[in-house]
Copies of this chain bind each other. A is one copy, B any other.
Amino acid sequence: MLKHISSESILAMEKQNRVHLVNSLGGFKSVSLVGTTDGEGHTNLAIFSSIFHIGANPPLMGLIFRPTPPERNTYNNILKTGYYTLNHINESIYKQAHQTSARYDKSVSEFEVTGLTPEYKEDFLAPYVSESHVQLGLVFKEKMDIATNDTTLIIGEIVHIYLPEDCIGADGFVCLEKANTVTCSGLDSYHKTVQLDRLSYAKPDKEITSLLSN
């Protein structure tokens, strides 16, 4: 027997409890560090868990930003420069990654305070996180304002991918466990994963089989 929580109960909850609850409800989330620069020598690094796949051709990712104020440095830098990086979080850096969510003054770089290393490659303006094993360089494509709650969706195209060579399979699938990528739930919980299976392409009247050769 499951517990039922109604709309009225959700809206009547103490604010932080509701934030923890609702952030937990979607399930385990994609979580990455977003690296940017203001183009004037100031870098910014921020953890995001509202990252999602929008399409493969062209390769597009979405990112949700909460309303301003407070000032959103990452958001401003993306709109100003047009470039940002997404860097997967692994078991060795998840505490430093979490620390980037503290509200630092704009003059402070989260790279410096967390000890994570900015890395510049291929003349790309935004810094990657050197300690990250899967690094993506994105170009800003589209901004959409979500009227229902004043958040903003930023869409970018992946133009550079960096990842360990032994993580990519012959069919293009990336083994994120080999790359040690972690996932998160709620606002503050971090998890590693154990693969259950890879399943064959589903068709009507055909049994699903495992793609793993054990």
* C-alpha spacing A15/B57, complex, angstroms: 8
Give A196 to B90 CA distance when docked, in angstroms. 11
Q: Are B164 and A2 in contact (CB under 8 A)?
A: yes
A70 → B minimal CB distance (Å): 14
Tell me, in angstroms, the Cα distance from A192 to B36 when the chains sit together: 32
Is B146's CB under 8 angstroms from A142's CB?
yes
Chain B residues within an 8 Å CB radius of A105: 204
Contacts of A57 in B (CB 8 A): 11, 15, 18-19, 22, 149
Q: Which chain B residues lie closer than 8 Å to A32 at the CB level?
A: 26-27
Check A189–B183 contact: CB distance below 8 A.
no
Q: Is the CB of B54 within 8 A of A151?
A: yes
Q: A155-B146, A171-B20 are in contact. Are A192 and B196 (CB under 8 A)?
A: yes
Residues in A lying within 8 Å of B, measured CB to CB: 2-7, 10-11, 13, 15-32, 49-62, 64, 66, 86, 88, 91, 94-95, 98-105, 108, 113, 121-122, 133-136, 141-142, 144, 146-149, 151, 153, 155, 157-165, 168-169, 171-174, 176-177, 181-183, 185-204, 206, 208, 211
